[in-house]
Amino acid sequence: MKKFIIALICLISSYAIANPEWINGEIIRIDLSRDRIVLKHEYIPSIKMHAMTMPFGTTKELNLEAYRPGDKVRFQFKVEDGALNITTIEKLK
Ligand SMILES: [Cu+2]
């Protein structure tokens, strides 16, 4: 039983590392020319950041042309050089 629990904990923690959390937000502004998006995001547990409106870095691969201000989205991000950069984004229905 103890072995099983340890295996389970390892599984859960590796899952958390391989699968970054999804954060819900709303698009406020999109700045394609500067690869930047301003999002109103909910609380982010992993970095204990309270809900706020702030800019995130983006890449061309995210195809942000398909998004408009006011869209409700969920996204994943990584912290690079103190900036939050979006790695995945998708619209919420
Ligand atoms: Cu923030």
Q: How many domains does the chain have?
A: 1
Q: How far is the CA of 50 from the centre of ligand 1 (A)?
A: 7
Q: How far is the CA of 42 from the centre of ligand 1 (A)?
A: 8
Residues 41-79 have pLDDT tens digits of 999 999 999 999 999 999 999 999 999 999 999 999 999
Q: What is the CATH number of the domain that holds 80?
A: 2.40.50.320
Q: How far is the CA of 13 from the centre of ligand 1 (A)?
A: 24
Residue 15 has pLDDT above 60, yes or no: no
The region, left, alpha or beta by phi > 0 then psi within -120 to 50, assigned to residue 62 is alpha
Q: pLDDT at position 64, please?
A: 94
Would you say residue 59 lies in a domain?
yes
At 28, give phi and psi (nearest 5°): -100, -45
Range of the structural domain that residue 35 is part of: 22-91
Would you say residue 46 lies in a domain?
yes
Please, where are the H alpha helices in the chain? Answer: 2-18
Q: pLDDT at position 31, please?
A: 96
pTM above 0.85, yes or no: no
Q: How far is the CA of 10 from the centre of ligand 1 (A)?
A: 30
Q: How far is the CA of 70 from the centre of ligand 1 (A)?
A: 17
Cα–Cα distances in angstroms (integers) from residue 59 to residues 35, 62, 65, 66, 69, in the given order: 6, 6, 11, 14, 17
